[in-house]
Amino acid sequence: MMRVFLILLWTMNLVQPNVPQAAGVQVFPPVNFTLTVSALAQVLLHWKPNPNQEQTNYTIRYDVKILSPVPEEYDTMKTHSLRTAALHNGFSAHIRMLLLHNELQMRSDWVKEELPPPPGTPETSVTNLSCVTRITISNTVSLHCTWLPGQGAPEDTEYFLFYRYKAYTEECQDYIKDKWNRNTECRFSATRIDPEEVDELIVIHINGSSKYAAIKPFQQLFNQNAIEKVNVPRNVTVFLDQNDLLATWEKPISPFREECFEYEFYLCNLKSGTKQILKISSNDFRLWIDVTNRYSIQIRANHHICCTRGFWSDWSEIIYVGKN
Ligand SMILES: *[C@@H]1O[C@H](CO)[C@@H](O)[C@H](O)[C@H]1NC(C)=O
Ligand SMILES: *[C@@H]1O[C@H](CO)[C@@H](O)[C@H](O)[C@H]1NC(C)=O
Ligand SMILES: *[C@@H]1O[C@H](CO)[C@@H](O)[C@H](O)[C@H]1NC(C)=O
Ligand SMILES: *[C@@H]1O[C@H](CO)[C@@H](O)[C@H](O)[C@H]1NC(C)=O
Ligand SMILES: *[C@@H]1O[C@H](CO)[C@@H](O)[C@H](O)[C@H]1NC(C)=O
């Protein structure tokens, strides 16, 4: 009996609205705030205005404050909001109602909701996940990920990798195993990743199973451009024009325009041993050299103006110029 009474008191305390003296209007916190996992590493926040809330003549907005895993604050007029976040350590958020009328701004109390972390034995999730994409000749994107088994993962642990890109989710079919026969690498030779998109997220989800322990899932978000291993510049030609070295090349295989690329030009004087790396933002280059010496030349590429920088391409094949 006592207990029921206490809980009742406590609940009433929670829904106690703010009463701004000036306006004489009560601002009630939103109700039925729910968090739903709607896809891998995706949460739908959903709530309703308080049915006791007087709404006429007011603009209603909601403050959303994400507390974890990545703090973020924003406001919205909608009663739902979709977020992408790694959920292996759970997710928690606060919302409150904002009532706006002329100069007046009134706020309700916060309502909190959280998703618990998925179950699993500590130290069983994968570590050191790294992923690389490449753009193929056929203008599709391949994906390659590697990871280490968790320190506490039993030897029979089998890991499974999934990627999600926008609304599309796919499980890996091509695993590479370590010496204990555990999956530690995965290849997708083609994915639904759009090579023309900029800064879109790739979600990686790795869970697992074992006879001896519950394996904790792990998620990580990658910017598709930041993990792209850029292709090598093409058709590099180098020749001498009197005392000048002239080099021209084509941009790597990529849907991005020529202006999106930068290059590094590696010049090694094989006689003196002097090495130089020059940053270049065009597709050709002229440099005075001592033509009585012999040089080796290589070029590599990265994109950066049109999107986030990726991993530098491999160096192009060595080209030699000059006299021996
Ligand atoms: C909130 O949820 C309860 C229980 O599901 C339901 O009865 C109620 O109508 C909902 N309130 C609103 C405002 O939708
Ligand atoms: C809304 O505003 C109008 C005009 O200012 C006023 O006549 C009306 O009484 C207001 N309604 C409420 C419910 O406050
Ligand atoms: C894994 O990551 C940890 C922490 O980032 C680092 O210290 C360690 O060297 C990495 N291990 C390997 C094998 O790369
Ligand atoms: C791993 O995650 C996928 C995608 O959410 C799920 O379908 C599958 O049941 C999970 N497997 C294990 C062993 O937890
Ligand atoms: C590279 O050179 C070859 C032969 O000259 C040519 O057919 C090809 O179109 C060039 N590639 C690019 C990307 O310009």
Does ligand 5 have an atom closer than 6 angstroms to the CB of 68? no
Is residue 21 pLDDT above 70, yes or no? no
Pairing outcome for strands 91-101 and 104-107 = antiparallel
CB 227 within 8 Å of CB 131: yes
Q: How many CA atoms lie within 13 A of 75 on its CB side?
A: 12
Q: Which two tokens stand for residue 10?
A: 């406590």
* Residue 55 to residues 45, 100, 103, 220, 257, Cα–Cα distance (Å): 22, 10, 17, 41, 51
For residue 282, the model assigns a pLDDT of: 95
How does pLDDT run across 204-220, given as a tens digit for each residue? 999 999 999 999 999 99
Confidence of residue 180 (pLDDT cuts 50, 70, 90): confident
- Over pLDDT 90: what percentage of the chain? 84
Angstrom distances, CA of residue 135 to CA of 52, 126, 254, 282: 55, 27, 7, 21
pLDDT at residue 26 in the model: 86
Q: Is the pLDDT of residue 157 over 70?
A: yes
The answer, yes or no, to whether any atom of ligand 1 lies below 6 A from the CB of 51, is yes
Q: Which of 185, 64, 40, 44 is nearest to 118 (CA)?
A: 40
Tell me which residue has tokens 């041993």: 273
Nearest CA to ligand 5 atom 6: 235
Name 236's Cβ contacts closer than 8 Å, sequence gap at least 6.
Answer: 247, 248, 249, 297, 299, 316, 317, 319
| pLDDT at residue 175 is higher than 50 | yes
Q: Which residue's CA lies nearest to atom 1 of ligand 4? A: 207
- CA dist 264 to 67, 255, 295, 298, Å? 42, 20, 16, 8
* Beta carbon of 102 within 6 Å of any ligand 2 atom: no
Asked whether 9 and 21 are in contact (CB, 8 A), the reply is: no
Q: What is the mean pLDDT of the chain?
A: 92
Beta bridge partners of 205: 162, 219
Share of the chain above pLDDT 70, in %: 93
For a substitution probing ligand 5, which of 135, 139, 236, 250 has the most ligand atoms within 8 Å of its CB? 250
- Name every residue whose Cβ is closer than 8 Å to that of residue 75 and which is 6 or more positions away in sequence: 61, 62, 63, 64, 98
56 lines ligand 2 (CB under 6 A): yes
- pLDDT surpassing 70 at residue 12: no
**Gap from CA of 258 to ligand 3 centroid (Å):** 36
Residue 148 reports pLDDT greater than 90: yes
Token digits of residue 300: 């590599």
Q: What are the counts of helices (DSSP H) followed by strands (DSSP E) for the chain?
A: 1, 23
| Three-class secondary structure of residue 11 per DSSP | helix
**Is residue 194's pLDDT more than 80?**
yes
pLDDT of residue 1: 41
CA 151 to ligand 3 center in whole angstroms? 12
Which residue minimizes the CA distance to atom 2 of ligand 1? 32
The amino acid at residue 154 is P
**200 has a pLDDT exceeding 80:** yes
Ligand 4 proximity of 209 Cβ (cutoff 6 Å): yes
On whether the 234-322 domain is CATH 2.30.30.90, my answer is no
Instruction: Mention every residue, 6+ apart, whose C-beta is less than 8 A from residue 20.
Output: 27, 104, 106
* Ranges of CATH 2.60.40.10 domains, the chain: 23-115, 127-223, 234-322
> Tell me: the pLDDT tens digits for 67-108?
999 999 999 999 999 999 999 999 999 999 999 888 888 999
Residue 5 scores a pLDDT above 70: no
Enter the tokens of residue 164.
């999600």
pLDDT of residue 56: 81
pLDDT at 18 over 60: no
Q: Which of the ligands is closest to the CA of residue 151?
A: 3
pLDDT over 70 (residue 23): no
CA distance 184 to 178: 6
Token look-up 């907005």 returns 61
Please check the confidence at residue 14 and state whether its pLDDT lies above 60: no
CB 75 within 8 A of CB 105: no
pLDDT at 272: 93
Higher pLDDT, 168 or 57: 168
Ligand lying nearest the CA atom of residue 234:
5
pLDDT (0 to 100) of residue 216: 97
Q: Which residues pair with 269 in a beta bridge?
A: 295
Q: Token digits for 242? A: 């009197």
CA of 32 to the centre of ligand 1 (A): 6
pLDDT at 323: 82
48 lines ligand 1 (CB under 6 A): yes
- Contact (Cβ atoms closer than 8 angstroms) between residue 184 and residue 177: yes
Atom 14 of ligand 1 has which residue's CA nearest to it? 48
Cβ(162) – ligand 4 distance below 6 Å:
yes
Task: Kindly report, residue by residue over 269-312, the tens digit of the pLDDT.
Answer: 999 999 999 999 999 999 999 989 999 999 999 999 999 999 99
- pTM of the predicted model, to two decimals? 0.87
Q: Which atom of ligand 1 is nearest to the CA of 49?
A: 13
**Is 32 a pocket residue for ligand 1 (Cβ < 6 Å)?**
yes
**How many CB atoms are located within 10 Å of the residue 20 CB?**
15
Q: With a cut of 80, say whether residue 124 has pLDDT above it.
A: yes
Indicate if ligand 5 lies below 6 Å from the C-beta of 250: yes
Architecture of domain 23-115: Sandwich (2.60)
Amino acid at 116: P
Cβ of 55 closer than 6 Å to ligand 5, yes or no, is no
Higher-confidence position of 235 and 14: 235
Please state which of the four CATH numbers 2.60.120.10, 1.20.120.160, 2.60.40.10, 3.40.50.720 is assigned to the domain occupying 127-223: 2.60.40.10
